[in-house]
Chains A and B, each alone.
Chain A
Amino acid sequence: MASSVRLRVEGVHHAYSDLIVLDAISLTAEAGEVLVLVGPSGCGKSTLLGIFGGMLAATSGTVRMDGAVGPDCLNPLTYVFQDFALLPWRSVAGNVSLALEGTRLDKPARNARIAEVLALTGLTKFRDALPKQLSGGMRQRVGIARALAVRPAVLLMDEPLSALDGQTRDLLLDEFASLIARSGVTAIYVTHNLNEAVRLGHQVAVLSRRPGRVREIVRIDRSIMERRPTDPDLVALEASLWRLIREDAAAADREMDHA
């Protein structure tokens, strides 16, 4: 069942003390679509994602959510983290369970939910394993399982694949694409990888280097399930996105980091 929730930031500015990071950002994650944020490192993508999900108070501007949240949604705005953010002392099932404890689900319902998302992410055999026993790819599968378990209205993902090696990333990208497409969840996906952007995004918002502004929004209307890594138009689109941010990326790379 597709999410009917859309999430919108309007006129967002953000500064860390005197470092201006985001400037006049207005973007909408449309219901049931994936909004991808790309831009050179340090341009404020993570900051913007934090603002979208209420984890960071913007210096100015508003975030609004509209549309009906599904009846079995336990946490409307749910994150998947770049570094997985798993509790090392809890098993795979325990980490998923954390998101469900203290909610209105009783124990049998929780266990059913856990079993369901572990099956969905291919983790059933690993339910009792500790995070340290898992590869990076498996850990991020736990991260996505935990997020799906709460039936989010909006899934917010901050470079979820960038801690993984190239092959694992390709495998997981396919899985993510199909999980997102099938669940129909509204999603915001931050990446600096343009291949991920064109595989997942219905909208790809290109941010300029810091202070981040929206330089361009590219729409890709083909359904995610129908996209192939070798599709010529996607490859061409990736190349044109790269031309767009190449100079910015090079300039950002030469910049001193204030943080």
Chain B
Amino acid sequence: MLDAVGRLVPFRARGFAPRDVPWASVATLVGVVLLWQAGASAGLVSTKFLPAPAQIVRALIDLGISGELWLNLSISLQRLAIGWVVGTVAGLALGFAVGLFTLARSPGMAIVSALFPIPKIALVPLFIIWFGIGEGSKVITLAFGVFFPTVINTMAGVDGVSRGLIRMGQSFGLSRAAIICKIVLPGALPAILSGFRITTSTAIILLVAAEMIGAEKGIGAFVLSAGNLYDTDNLLAGIVVLSLLGLAVSWVLGRIERALLSWR
């Protein structure tokens, strides 16, 4: 028997579609800071161990006025920039060589695979012996840490470039150099830039570690000496500076990605 009215078909495809709610992210962060401040003011957390947000801000302002912040920050930024650039340039060069030439591929990858697993921080004492306690050992540590992931990402990027596009270039008689510059490089760029996100954060970690092991100045050394003095206000101020540094770097990378990869 056919039922003229029939049953309603219920909707069954609900859920599994989380949405972003921008104001909720802001509210959460502000809420946590306010709770933290309230807890400290009410004496629920000992400000000796965990200073209130207001104390950290005050410490930051004092450090800014005394110039200590800028001194340490500029030294750290310099190490970061030099170390990252050296490691990145060398890594890109080897990554492209390994991605393009049979002659470089197996030897290059053998070295990278053998050295990549070494925790780079463990090498700091060795680099201090080799290059002295000065800038050399810190820059080399960073460069070394940045180098390997850069090689691997660059190679993966080059490998991932469509062979069809390369054959197309060859079929139109493009020179080898033109194929590398106009097809391989832009094609590998997304992978290279996403590698930069990894290498910049690796570089910041190594920077702090190297500065804690053997440096007078720099944000890492500053955080360590504040810790030694039980100066938790300054200690956390240093950590805030490092977080902001990380955020700034990632913002800059985001802008670069948007500018260079707008075609995606």
Residues of A within 8 A of B (CB): 53, 55, 74-75, 77-79, 81, 83, 85, 87-90, 98-99, 101-102, 130, 132, 146, 150
Contacts and interface: CB of A to CB of B under 8 A. Distances in A.
Given A87-B165, A88-B263, A55 B174 contact: no
A53 B172 contact: no
21 contacts: A55-B167, A55-B170, A55-B171, A75-B171, A77-B171, A78-B172, A79-B168, A81-B164, A81-B168, A87-B183, A87-B186, A88-B263, A88-B264, A98-B169, A98-B172, A98-B174, A98-B182, A101-B178, A101-B182, A130-B263, A132-B264
A3 to B, nearest CB: 17
Contacts of B162: 85
Contacts of A150: 172
Given A77-B171, A85-B165, A102-B175, 13 more contacts: A53-B171, A55-B167, A74-B173, A75-B172, A79-B168, A79-B171, A87-B183, A88-B264, A89-B186, A89-B263, A102-B178, A130-B263, A146-B172
Question: What's the interface size class on B, roughly?
Answer: 10 to 19
Contacts, number: 46
A147 B113 CA distance: 43
- Considering the complex of A and B, which 6 residue pairs feature the smallest CB-CB distances, nearest first? A85-B168, A89-B263, A99-B172, A79-B171, A75-B173, A89-B186
Contacts of A83: 164
Dominant SS at the A interface?
A: loop
Question: Among B169, B172, B175, which residue has the most Cβ atoms of chain A within 10 A?
Answer: B172
Nearest to A149: B172
Central interface residue in B167, B169, B170, B263, by most chain A CB within 10 Å: B263
A85 B172 CA distance: 12
Contact of A78 (B169, B171, B182): B171
Interface of B: 162, 164-165, 167-175, 178, 182-183, 186, 263-264
Contacts of B182: 87, 98, 101
Nearest to A95: B168
Contacts of A146: 172
Nearest to B186: A89
Nearest to B264: A88
A159 to B, nearest CB: 13
Contacts of B164: 81, 83, 85
Contacts of A81: 164, 168
Contacts of B263: 88-90, 130, 132
B174 A102 contact: yes
A55 B182 CA distance: 20
Contacts of A101: 174, 178, 182
A78 B165 CA distance: 14
